[in-house]
């Protein structure tokens, strides 16, 4: 009889049976399924299984979080189900077959914009700060701003435009680079193509509308003239140019002999791509982008703007769950390009706030449910800061009614925002900090809309939650089982032999890497940031070798991928080390596992060696997680973050 015999049998039934499984694999913490019909999976019943810590769907994969013992669970599951496990790449390929063409397009669009989001957020904050110091007239009876009165702030106002221009005017460079990165072609060629779209030799794209047609410069080829127009801030034109480059490079790589490919492929890809970009796809993309921007702007300023706002505010959260919301990034950027501001982005920020307020209400209702709070609190914080996926998938969609209550609040707030014509000067800063991107003259109206986005979802969710939530949802599972578990743990601790006594002297863990130590809530992975696997830390590494944080045993390794391992200290403390996010997809490329399961290691002994360049090239963060998955006999465990650590020297976790 297997260790997880009952849970394995139940999971197979609850997931829809063997016939509903198209492919299955696992990583360090999760079972990864591709289901024929995802609707057949009974999510609530699956999450109630003792060995399951949570579930979520991502990129067509239904993922069941098990924890450190996932390999044992996986082996028992595939053996009982009579299913042959497949590689992670095969699971990803199978997952794509579950997506319709729209989902595939939106997925690709999302993967193109995802690497750009940090820059957009930073640029949005910079422009928001410029608003405060240069656009709001605080002084001399409301006639002068901080930048007008003080030379330092005037210099700062002008200096910060260096960043704002780089982010928003030169955005095509980032877009074309991201496309080449996503499609696996030469990224430097993408950067060069992007630079040709925003070259200083060209008429700035933002100046085209104000320049008479006879004053627009052009290249004269004798038989044809091509206008020298830049594509600053243009999204669709840049995307079209990027895909032209990608498919040209793939074509020439396919037909070109290897011996001359280094010379022929870059030249035959880049030069035609630049020509096509400025003569064909650039003007077409410009026209399409302007048309989309004009239609949306007309809708937001027409007599039907309240209806438009109501629909958008109501449906934006569901759009996020489908991935379709990525299209709004292109539309917002286009609006800023054509109208110097966007009415769309304020509604997005308000939707973030509304969904966060629903989670806040759930946190209030479930304040005595410790397990629920581990998800609610970080999800609420991230939502209020503009990242809604943890709240949507981890809380609101799970219960249903908080999602609807948030949608209603977002709808009301959006109508107020559009009704008063609230405009944003930039995008990227969502949630509560979104006010920094709003034009100062609209701050009071936006604050009113924010208040509605906070109050309505909170009140509605609280009222409905008191009716719909069960006692178990409100207060967690009955205390009796927990007490039994606690008794067993106590008994196990008391039964420890004298051989384990020296472990009592170990009261701390040293850093496993050189680098910046961050709270686990900042980890770029919801499973870790929501503490589903346990509390811990995230480290942005500055070296390439993971070392043991203390004398311990290697309890589990990912031998085929080398990206993670589990450790157990003599006092029973269990740890999980996970290098990067979604690095299981790399299949071991870039990782070298230096230990084996069952090894006893000393503090500072190398465990995993990794190649940051390969991880980044594969599109994954290098952020490494150190998670406490089992506390053993340790008490009052404290996490130490917010500093630069030295592997083997800096204390990052301690306990009594």
CA distance 549 to 507: 11
Distances (CA, A) of 10 to 51, 78, 82, 454: 11, 13, 15, 40
Sheet holding 574-579, edge to edge: 600-601, 552-557, 564-568, 574-579, 624-630, 536-541, 515-519, 643-645
CA distance 488 to 467: 36
Closest among 362, 339, 353 to 413, alpha carbons compared: 353
Helix (H, G, I), strand (E, B) or coil at 520: helix
643 C-beta neighbours (distance < 10 Å), count? 12
Choice among 27, 268, 411, 565 that is catalytic? 27
Alpha helices in 82-137 (DSSP H): 88-97, 101-113, 117-134
Helix (H, G, I), strand (E, B) or coil at 634: coil
Residue-wise over 465-486: b if at least 16 C-beta within 10 A, else e? Answer: beeebeeeeebbeeeeeeeeee
Residue 411 known to be catalytic: no
Q: Give all strands (DSSP E) within 543-593, no chain letters.
A: 545-547, 552-557, 564-568, 574-579, 591-593
Helix (H, G, I), strand (E, B) or coil at 550: coil
**Exposed, middle or buried by CB within 10 Å (0-12, 13-18, 19+), for 231?**
buried
Two tokens, residue 267: 């030249």
In the DSSP assignment, the letter for residue 250 is: H
Q: C-alpha 133: how far from its chain's center? A: 31
CA distance 636 to 235: 51
**Are the beta carbons of 633 and 488 closer than 8 angstroms?**
no
Residue-wise over 388-415: b if at least 16 C-beta within 10 A, else e? Answer: bbbbbbbbbbbbebbbbbbbbbbbbbbb
CA distance 588 to 13: 32
Helix (H, G, I), strand (E, B) or coil at 591: strand
**636, containing H or E segment:** none
Please enumerate, as own/partner, the contacts of 289-293 that have beta carbons within 8 Å and a separation of 24 or more. Answer: 289/234, 289/235, 289/236, 289/237, 289/330, 289/334, 289/337, 290/334, 290/338, 292/236, 292/330, 292/331, 292/334, 293/331, 293/334, 293/335, 293/337, 293/338, 293/339
Beta strands 574-579 and 624-630: pairing type?
Answer: antiparallel
Alpha helices in 495-540 (DSSP H): 526-529
Cβ-Cβ contacts under 8 Å for 226 (sequence gap 6 or more): 218, 219, 278, 279
Q: Give all strands (DSSP E) within 313-378, no chain letters.
A: none
Cβ-Cβ contacts under 8 Å for 607 (sequence gap 6 or more): 512, 546, 547, 548, 554, 565, 577, 593, 594, 595, 601
Query: Which residues are designated catalytic?
Result: 27
């Amino acid at each position: 009889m297997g260790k997880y015999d009952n849970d394995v049998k139940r999971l197979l039934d609850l997931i829809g049976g063997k016939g509903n499984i198209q492919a299955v694999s696992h990583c360090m913490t999760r079972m990864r399924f591709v289901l024929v019909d995802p609707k057949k999976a009974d999510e609530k019943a699956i999450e109630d299984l003792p060995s399951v810590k949570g579930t979520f769907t991502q990129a067509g994969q239904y993922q069941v979080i098990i924890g450190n013992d996932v390999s044992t669970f996986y082996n028992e599951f595939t053996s009982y189900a009579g299913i042959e496990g497949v590689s992670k790449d095969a699971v990803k390929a199978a997952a794509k077959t579950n997506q319709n063409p729209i989902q595939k397009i939106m997925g690709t669009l999302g993967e193109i914009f995802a690497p750009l989001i940090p820059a957009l957020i930073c640029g949005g904050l910079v422009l928001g700060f410029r608003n405060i110091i240069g656009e709001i007239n605080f002084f001399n009876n409301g006639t002068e701003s901080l930048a007008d009165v003080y030379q330092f702030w005037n210099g700062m106002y002008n200096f910060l435009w260096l960043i704002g221009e780089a982010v928003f005017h030169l955005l095509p460079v980032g877009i074309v680079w991201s496309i080449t990165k996503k499609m696996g072609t030469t990224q430097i060629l993408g950067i060069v193509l992007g630079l040709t779209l925003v070259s200083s030799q060209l008429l700035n794209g933002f100046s085209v509308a104000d320049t008479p047609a006879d004053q627009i410069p052009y290249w004269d080829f004798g038989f044809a003239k091509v206008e020298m127009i830049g594509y600053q801030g243009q999204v669709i034109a840049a995307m079209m140019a990027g895909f032209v480059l990608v498919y040209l490079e793939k074509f020439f790589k396919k037909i070109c002999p290897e011996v001359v490919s280094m010379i022929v492929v870059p030249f035959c890809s880049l030069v035609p791509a630049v020509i096509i970009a400025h003569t064909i796809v650039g003007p077409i993309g410009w026209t399409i982008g302007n048309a989309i921007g004009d239609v949306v702007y007309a809708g937001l300023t027409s007599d039907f703007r309240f209806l438009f706002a109501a629909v958008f505010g109501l449906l934006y959260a569901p759009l996020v769950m489908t991935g379709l919301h990525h299209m709004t990034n292109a539309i917002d950027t286009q609006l800023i390009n054509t109208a110097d501001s966007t009415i769309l982005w304020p509604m997005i920020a308000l939707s973030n706030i509304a969904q966060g307020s629903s989670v806040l209400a759930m946190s209030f209702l479930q304040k005595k449910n410790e397990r629920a709070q581990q998800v609610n609190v970080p999800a609420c914080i991230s939502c209020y800061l503009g990242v809604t996926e943890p709240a949507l998938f981890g809380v609101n969609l799970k219960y249903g009614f908080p999602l609807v209550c948030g949608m209603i609040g977002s709808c009301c707030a959006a109508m107020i925002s559009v009704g008063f014509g609230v405009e944003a000067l930039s995008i990227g800063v969502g949630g509560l900090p979104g006010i920094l991107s709003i034009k100062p003259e609209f701050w009071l109206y936006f604050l009113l809309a924010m208040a509605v986005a906070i109050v309505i979802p909170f009140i509605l969710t609280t009222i409905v939650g008191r009716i719909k939530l069960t006692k178990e949802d409100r207060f967690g599972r009955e205390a009796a089982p927990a007490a039994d578990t606690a008794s067993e743990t106590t008994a196990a601790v008391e039964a420890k032999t004298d051989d384990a006594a020296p472990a009592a002297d170990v009261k701390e863990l040293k850093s496993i890497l050189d680098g910046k130590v961050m709270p686990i809530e900042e980890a770029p992975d919801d499973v870790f940031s929501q503490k589903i696997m346990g509390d811990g830390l995230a480290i942005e590494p500055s070296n390439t070798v993971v070392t043991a944080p203390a004398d311990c045993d290697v309890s589990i390794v990912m031998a085929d991928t080398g990206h993670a391992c589990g450790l157990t200290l003599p006092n029973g403390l269990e740890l999980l080390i996970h290098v990067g996010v979604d690095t299981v997809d790399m299949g071991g490329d870039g990782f070298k596992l230096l230990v084996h399961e069952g090894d006893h290691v000393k503090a500072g002994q190398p465990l995993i060696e990794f190649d940051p360049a390969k991880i980044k090239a594969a599109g994954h963060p290098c952020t490494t997680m150190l998670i406490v998955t089992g506390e053993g006999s340790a008490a009052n465990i404290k996490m130490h973050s917010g500093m630069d650590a030295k592997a083997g020297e800096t204390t990052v976790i301690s306990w009594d």
